[in-house]
Amino acid sequence: MIYLDHSATSPPNEEVIQSYVAVSTKYFANPSSLHKLGVEANALFEQATVQIKQLLSMPQGEVIYTSGGTEANNLAIIGYARKNVHLGKHIVTTTIEHASVLEACRALEKEGFTITYLPVDEQGQVVIEQLKEALTDETILVSIMHVNNEMGATQNIRALKEVIQRHSQAVFHVDAVQSFGKIDVPFGIDGADMMSISAHKINGMRGSGALFLRHRYPLEPILYGGGQQQNIRSGTIPLAEAVALAKAMRLAIRTTEREEYRQWKNQMIDHVESLSEIQVVGPHDGAAHIIALAIRGIRGEVAVNFLQQRDIIVSTSSACSSLDGTLSHVAEALKIPKEWATGIIRISLGVTTTGEQIEQLLHALTALNEQVK
C-alpha cells in the first residue's frame, strides 16, 4: 500500500514508539508525586523539556504539553486573549486557518472580542499591506498558520513578524502543525512568539502536541484542575508523551527540507499539466510536501476511492473536515471555480515516500483522468 496522507497523520517512527513504551513501563509513576518514583519521573520530564528548549534555541521560553495541535491552538488564542483582555480586544487571523483557530476566534467573538479575518491572494498568501492596515492599538494577538493544511500555501513568517512588531504590540502565534519538521519555522525574535505543533504529524504519537512560548506570556487556562504545568494546563503530566515528542522532534529536524519533496511535487505538476480533467490547485511554489489536485466534475471522495482501489491512500482537501461534504473554506478563499472545488484531493508526502510510489501515483492519475473524460 502507498500512503500519501502524511498531513492527516504520519506513521509513528519505531524509535519514538520504543521511547514511549520504555518510559511508560519504567517511569509509570505520576511526576507530581512526592515519593521517589514520582521524583524520578519528574526529573525525566524536566530533561525532555530541556531537550526541546535546546532544539528550539529557547532557553528562557516555555513548553506547554497538550493533547495535540487543536488544544495548542485553542490555548494560545483563547488563553492569551482572556488573560490579556485589559490590553485590548482585537485579534487578527486569516480566512484559511485550521478550524481549531477559526472556531476559537468565533468563540471569542461571542465574548466581545473583535476578530479581523484577513483574505489571502490567489497564492494563498497574506497581503502584507492588508495586515498592516488591520493592526490597531487594540490588537493583542495575531494568529497566522505557517503552511496551510489543504493547499500547502506558505506564509513568510519573518516578513509578517516585522510588520506586527513595527505597527502593534501584538503577540504573534503561528500554527506550525503542517510545517515543523518539513520546512524551517522561524521562531523567536524574527518569527513566532507562540508556536503550536502536533506529534503525529512528525511521526510521533497521536494525542500529543505542544505550545511553545518564546517568553512566559501570561495565559488563562482553558482546562481547570490540579494546576500542573505552571498552572496553565491542568491534568496528570504526560511524561511518556513528552519524552516521545522530544524524540520525534529531534528526528524530524534531521529531515527538514527533504530535497526529494520538491522534486516529486514538480514531477506531479508537470504530469498533471498533460491531463485534461485534473489540475493543480493552490500555489505551485508552496510547501513541497503538500499538493492539491482538483478533478473536474466529480467529488473528491470519488477520486479518493478510485486511488484506494489501486492501493494508493490520499485524502480529500482536509481530513479534519472531509466527512461533512461542504465546500472547503480554503478553496473558497483561493477563489477556485466550483466545478473544480468539489473534486479536490490532497497528496501529502512523508519520510516513507519513495520515487517509485510517485511513479505509481502518476500512472493512477492518468487512469483517473481517462475515466472521468
> Alpha helix (H) ranges present in the chain?
14-26, 36-56, 69-74, 80-83, 99-109, 128-134, 157-167, 228-232, 239-254, 259-272, 300-308, 329-333, 338-341, 355-372
The reported pLDDT for the residue numbered 347 is 97
| Distance from C-alpha of 9 to C-alpha of 98, rounded to nearest angstrom | 15
pLDDT classification of 326: cutoffs 50, 70, 90: low
8 A C-beta contact, residue 229 and residue 64: yes
Rounded to 5 degrees, what angle do the CA atoms 21, 26, 29 make? 110
Which of the given ranges, 17-21, 280-284, 300-304, 320-324, has the highest pLDDT on average?
17-21
SS3 155: coil
Look up the CATH number of the domain holding residue 191: 3.40.640.10
| Distance from C-alpha of 67 to C-alpha of 295, rounded to nearest angstrom | 35
Please indicate, yes or no, whether residues 250 and 289 belong to a single structural domain of this protein.
no
Please indicate, yes or no, whether residues 239 and 103 belong to a single structural domain of this protein.
yes
Say what percent of the chain tops pLDDT 70.
97
Cβ count near 91 (within 10 Å): 25
Give 32-46 pLDDT, tens digit per residue. Answer: 999 999 999 999 999
Please indicate, yes or no, whether residues 213 and 265 belong to a single structural domain of this protein.
no
The reported pLDDT for the residue numbered 139 is 98
SS3 367: helix
Please indicate, yes or no, whether residues 266 and 218 belong to a single structural domain of this protein.
no
Please indicate, yes or no, whether residues 41 and 137 belong to a single structural domain of this protein.
yes
The reported pLDDT for the residue numbered 318 is 54
Helix axes 239-254 and 14-26, enclosed angle (nearest 10): 160
Give the domain extent around 35.
14-254
Q: Which of 320, 351, 352, 369 is catalytic?
A: 320
pTM of the model: 0.94
pLDDT classification of 325: cutoffs 50, 70, 90: low
Of 100, 178, 113, the C-alpha closest to 141 is: 113
**CA 171 → CA 94, 231, 344, distances in Å?**
15, 20, 34
Lowest mean pLDDT among 72-76, 117-121, 298-302, 318-322: 318-322
Checking if the pLDDT of 231 tops 60, the result is: yes
Please indicate, yes or no, whether residues 92 and 157 belong to a single structural domain of this protein.
yes
Rounded to 5 degrees, what angle do the CA atoms 228, 232, 235 make? 40
> Alpha helix (H) ranges present in 211-238?
228-232
pLDDT classification of 157: cutoffs 50, 70, 90: very high
Pairwise pLDDT comparison (363 vs 322), residue with the higher score? 363
The reported pLDDT for the residue numbered 42 is 96
**CA 330 → CA 262, 299, 317, 368, distances in Å?**
22, 16, 9, 24
Please indicate, yes or no, whether residues 232 and 249 belong to a single structural domain of this protein.
yes
Checking if the pLDDT of 223 tops 90, the result is: yes
The reported pLDDT for the residue numbered 257 is 64
Give 174-211 pLDDT, tens digit per residue. Answer: 999 999 999 999 999 999 999 999 999 999 999 999 99
In the predicted model, what is the mean pLDDT of the chain? 93
End position of a domain, from candidates 254, 278, 302: 254
Beta-strand pair 171-175/139-143: parallel
Look up the CATH number of the domain holding residue 319: 3.90.1150.10
Of 45, 332, 69, 63, the C-alpha closest to 208 is: 69
311: alpha, beta or left? (left if phi > 0; alpha if psi -120 to 50)? left
The reported pLDDT for the residue numbered 186 is 93
The reported pLDDT for the residue numbered 333 is 79
End position of a domain, from candidates 222, 254, 286: 254
Burial class (CB in 10 A: 0-12, 13-18, 19+), 267: middle
Over residues 140-149, mean pLDDT: 97
Checking if the pLDDT of 291 tops 70, the result is: yes
End position of a domain, from candidates 239, 254, 269: 254
Please indicate, yes or no, whether residues 213 and 307 belong to a single structural domain of this protein.
no
Please indicate, yes or no, whether residues 288 and 222 belong to a single structural domain of this protein.
no
| Distance from C-alpha of 353 to C-alpha of 332, rounded to nearest angstrom | 30
Residue 105 among the catalytic residues:
no
Tally of domains within the chain: 2
**CA 215 → CA 50, 192, 278, 336, distances in Å?**
15, 11, 46, 40
| Distance from C-alpha of 157 to C-alpha of 248, rounded to nearest angstrom | 23
Quote the radius of gyration of the chain (alpha carbons, Å). 21
Lowest mean pLDDT among 38-52, 152-166, 222-236, 323-337: 323-337
Say what percent of the chain tops pLDDT 90.
85
8 A C-beta contact, residue 88 and residue 138: yes
Checking if the pLDDT of 256 tops 90, the result is: no
| Distance from C-alpha of 302 to C-alpha of 237, rounded to nearest angstrom | 43
Over residues 213-239, mean pLDDT: 94
Please indicate, yes or no, whether residues 81 and 230 belong to a single structural domain of this protein.
yes
Please indicate, yes or no, whether residues 217 and 161 belong to a single structural domain of this protein.
yes
Please indicate, yes or no, whether residues 326 and 213 belong to a single structural domain of this protein.
no
| Distance from C-alpha of 179 to C-alpha of 133, rounded to nearest angstrom | 27
Beta-strand pair 2-3/62-66: unpaired
